Structure 1
Amino acid sequence: MSFASNLEKLHLWSNNLSGKIPDSISNVSKLTILELQGNSFFGLIPNTLGNLRFLEKLRLNSNHLTTKTSTHEWSFLYSLANCRHLRILDLSINPLNGLLPTAISNLSTSLQNLRVVDCKIKGSIPMEIDSLSNAISLDLSSNKLTGPIPTTMGRLKNLQLLNLYGNKLQGSVPPDLCGLKGLYKLSLGANELDGPLPTCLCELTSLRYLNLFSNKLHSQIPLSFWSLKDILEVDLSSNNLSGSLPLDIGNLKVLISLNLSRNLLSSDIPSTIGSFHDLQVLDLSRNRLQGPIPKSLGDLMSLKSLDLSNNNLSGVIPKSLEKLYDLNYFNVSFNRLEGEIPSGGPFSNFTAKSFIKNYALCGSPRLQVSPCKNKIHRNFKKTARHSLRYVLPTFVSTIIVVAFIVVYKKWQHGGINLAIVEDLIPPKNWVRISYNQLLEGTSGFSGSNLLGSGSFGSVYKGILSDGTDVAIKVFNLQIEGAFKSFDVECEVMSNILHRNLVKIITCCSTIDFKALVLEFMPNGSLEKWLYSYNYFLDILQRINIMIDVASALEYLHLGHPVPVIHCDLKPSNILLDKDMVAHVGDFGIAKLLGEGDSIKQTMTLATIGYMAPEYGSTGIISIKSDVYSYGILLIETFTRKKPTDDIFVGEMSMKHWVKRSLSEEIIGVIDSSLVQKTDEYFVTKANCISLIMRLALDCSAELPEDRLDMKNVVSMLKNIKREYLNNLEQD
């Protein structure tokens, strides 16, 4: 096999190639990337690889490569010491065997990513591992490593991922690891580690994923641990951890998964556990927990799996759990529970296995429990009904007379404005909600419940009498156009229904009060996620959001009997639900196209920067006006620059800025938090965003007829997403 001497990149992954890697590959002295993974190469890894002095990426994973049979010597590591630019080395899934040599310290200090997964290596991790001073990711999982975790690992200050899962490591979790301030994921599960958890784990404020399951850890979980308020997944299952769960557990408000099963935890489940609004998996099974199941678990609206089995829990199963409509796994077996098993919500799908071996549960025969006894005797009910037949009419008549006298006297003295009690009847499919209910549900429209303010009023978070969280948009009727805006939103939103549009639950309308009751979006607006310093969206999340928005517009323009023009598309009107699905809202200046109409003229102006040229200059709007706004929104989402940013002055508009970058260097306009030139997947990310920017420019063309329609936009964005994911897998 011969190679061109000027070759810089060689990608031969997943080609069913076999045989030995030829020594002659070292003649390609300018090679920077060598990817041979996913083939059937066997034999020794050539020492001559060290001649590739410019090598940056070396991927040999998923082959049949070995080391010398007698000594298991990894001599190739010594030669790789000459590759001073080596950033990525992946030797995973090869039968390398032998010991992990101290020669690992000879590797370049430029090394950022080292993967030696499932290579059957034995012995201890050498103390010299700290020589990899610039390592970002270190993965030695699924091997046969023994001995302690070297304390020197605490010197790898740039480390973001440490994965030692599935070995036979012993000793305690060294407190030295608490020095890894940038650590994002720590996986030490399935080892033989013992001792207590270090109290200093709370110092790992960048930690998002912690996996310590199946070890021999003991003692109480340090109270300081519960201050890791940004952690997403915690798995401490199958250890010997004891003590109680403190109220401070409620600090982990963004937690997605918590597994503390198979430990020795005791005492009650704290009610603060109900503050985990994003929690999807909660497993506290096989402990010694006692007391009642907290009603606050019914607040975990994202919960999909709840396992409380094999404890000493008592009392009833709270009916509040009926609100957990996403719950698809539930297990409270082997406890001391009693009372009626709830039947609403997800409970209609659970089987007898979820409830076996309890003290005195009752309910449906299909759950293999006793039927519940009716505590109200039938004769008593019959007597009560007979009495009410005579008592109730007299009582109601008395109330009406008294009420009439009170109202009449107040009216005589000017004490009541009869006009404000005249509620308009909402559409038949809406629930009727009074002003007083909204007042109570928002604590008197208090500032603590204020979600935001817009052109025509304010939006508050509220709670309905049935416990449903809602957003209440209260119109400021002192503002010109507020009445019309309310009427438009009622008209438009009562007739449209789509997963990517904000759902209107009902309205409340009197002479001097008008409000819309909307589906609550717990993750707020796209604007918040783009411009608040403590929020972040990655490339894939932004693509998904923009696909959602495009799908909503496609429905409004093409999927509804009467085309709807939104007219005010911008980040603050894109709202995100608990699953980060985007919903388009605020139809206050929307327009309906009449039969046969393709354009309309309006005097109402939308937000500067997002309006199509023909809209801003002549008031002409069409569905292509929304397409223009969408193009601007698409640019903003990936550049994190508003169309009214100070850099856009004179001839330099947002579109000119992006167009120029496509011919020069796209990195100059991309949101810097998304991609840097030093990123491992820089080319893939940059290419993806370049395609998105070209699509955005096609949407925001000057002339309406040159713009795409939203059906094509949805299709093109989905193709860009598919290509991006495929390229990530190949990199």
Structure 2
Amino acid sequence: MSASHVDEWVLLRNLQPSLVVLRWRDGVVVDWEPRGLESCDFLAQSHPMVSEEQTMSCGAAHIRHTRYFRPETRKCKGLALVKLMTDWEMEFTSWIPNTDPCDGWENLICTGGHVTTLNLTKAGISGVLSEEIGVLSGLENLDLSGNDLRGPLPDSLKNCLNMRRLYLQDCNWDIPFPEVILSLQTLEHLDISGAKLSGSIPPEFYSMQSLKYVYLGNNKELTGNLEKFSLLSNLVNLSIWYLQFEEYVLPDKLSSLSKLQYLNCHDCNLHGGLPESYGELSELIEFRADYNFLLGSFPNWMFTMWPNLRNLYLSANQFYGVPYNISYLERQFNLTTRINIMRWDCNYLTGNEACGSDHKNDCSDTTIALIASGNYVFDMNCYEGISDQDILAETAYCGSHTLTCDVFETDIVRANNCPACPPSQKLQIGASIDSGCLCYGTASDGSGHTVNPVVGVMGGLSSLFLIILGFVVWKRRKNFSFFDVFSNKETELSAIWEMPAGVHRFTVEELARITSDFDESHIIGAGGFGKVFWGLLDDGRMVAIKRASAGSLQGVKEFRNEVILLSRLHHRHLVRLEGFCEEKNFQVLVYEFMKRGNLGSHLYGGNTNLDWYKRLDIAYEVAQGLEYIHSFADPPVIHRDVKPSNILLDENMVAKLADFGISKESTELETHISTFPAGTAGYLDPEYYLTRQLTPASDVYAYGVVLLELVTGQVAIDRKRDADNNLIEWAKKRFKLAGVTSIIDPSIADDFSKDACTKVTELAFRCAQFRKSERPTMKEVLAALDPLILPKSSKSSPHGSDSFSKDTEWLVAKGKSKRQKSPGDSKNISSISSPSSDLERSFNVMDMSQEFAPR
């Protein structure tokens, strides 16, 4: 007998009966397993793995090993999860001791037999996070946000070497910055905003090159080094609002973050100027620096240097000078289409009042509507014709306006003097507007750091150098045009790019051959994007070929980004992207062919009489697809045009969401807001008309309309319905008076489940609430539909993502809900929302809600 098997036998012989269970067959022990977490720990330390078959004797007993054993078995992981649940005094009904957590446990996802995602956001948890979390060594995504968790993070978290997303925000940790995070060298998404952290961010944090999305905001006692964030070269999103800093000046070095799309540093007591070198942040989509003490000429260069800018916040600073005329911005920069939110109220800006009553700064009706909605705010400045009394009357609103317009102009700008420093800071000796008006911290400053006075001199020199350099560059570009930054010429981008794996790049010749030169006989549809053709590939597969019309062509960069985005979406209820073609003015997306057409043709075109149970299946399948793109796509995606004609059916009548050619990834990753208008009358989120913003809740609204169409067989908008053109209002009135039988599609009225149909109708009304805050998430929709689905349909063979096992996809589809907490019960959980992120929480979840409530 080998030494390893002797060790194994000694191990088993010395284990207490309470630590291990032996399985016997015909007098032979054929298998064994740990009984509790103590044995998991003991086995992990004593014997990591046994692989050879071996029989050992002990009296009449024989022990035969026939398979690998590792202590981090699924049952050990299940024991760890149950221990966490018990410590928290929670009850997750599917978390059953001594069962496999990968066999349908709620709020987690398994891949390859490992628990890779644990989502307990807003689950009502109170207590500490114990060391048992480290047993889940395969974790890649952990979301504990929105709970009453306290105390230190356990050291065992460093066992999760594959962690990519960690969301700990809005808890009550009340601890110094947790150094165990520094061990997670694969971490890409980190959200610990609003977590009551204190102390200093460790220097090692700034060397975590894997980080892309960092949210540290609203930790009032946490001190960071602004300049060192520039070392995180892969940053896409950075939120650092309401932090303490070693130096309260925006450093030039942040301009090296070439991938940065989102920068949030509002309410940080920042002073000095906004470095013009930030013009190099050409990917920037949102910039928030409101409620600081930034001083300098209004940065009109942003409109030229930030071509992707969507949201701009400069309110409550000390900018002066004349911003670009609004009508000029509309003409030169396509303002209202390009920028969704723009605020520079409460500064010391001069010139004509933006969109004022004197009509010297004329605005379009669209801009005026955006002002009325609060998206654009330009008032409370020193415009011509606005008296100091008007400004002084709003000091409570502006806060930072401690000087009247006249005093600021004469005593500050003209005299080259500096205004007062932020609280707990003092002006450097000899500081002036020309030198940057830099301040330094005093002993009363919460950070305990002082600003080096040399920074003031260097800031002035660097600003002067940048001004001179900018002037030289401008002079050399004699043919410069403001339209250059929006040019879609292919020469602006390298023809070489890293194409996504698994997607074929077709040539024009290939596509022309399989469509008979795009002959009309191959046309199977048309839409806003262009015409759709069918084609037969050489391997016998049929494909749908969407060719962009001349008016729908995107820029090269935008089209490639869309191809990359679509190539990442793999789910059995999403139409699969097979390939693309990109040659000069020729843009094509090639999808799998869906033989049974779209849902609308079956509901209204008479192609098929869909029975009630098939309609219910389709509703469930569409919900699965939407839940995937909202919560599990990387980055999250908003479909923006959910309707029957965009729900396609394959040869087996399995539903798949289509028309992602108009879908957009959520660039504002925290809450997945899309600012691009889209949608179809009857399905468009009514709040969009107020906010000009689309969110995942907009898809939920449209989905609710589709549910009603499945129940009633009626179209969303029908002028023949007299006063009730809108399906939602038509159905609500009748359902309230006479129940579901008054609205059911006559073609299925003889064979449907009245109880199930009533619940689906009620769910549809919830989805179609006017206020998005009153609509369920798609995860909650799935939980509501789940009990109504027959096992044979809900457990059909998956055809989804390669990244999820079959068990995982079924888990995601099931989206099991938790029971509401009731008096007298132990702590139970209601349905919990999906991870946000970067989300990608992308997924889902960052600083970008409609109201932009800071995180």
**Range into which the TM-score falls when normalised by the shorter chain:** 0.3 to 0.5
Q: Compute the TM-score of the two structures, normalised by the length of structure 1.
A: 0.45
Q: Compute the TM-score of the two structures, normalised by the length of structure 2.
A: 0.39
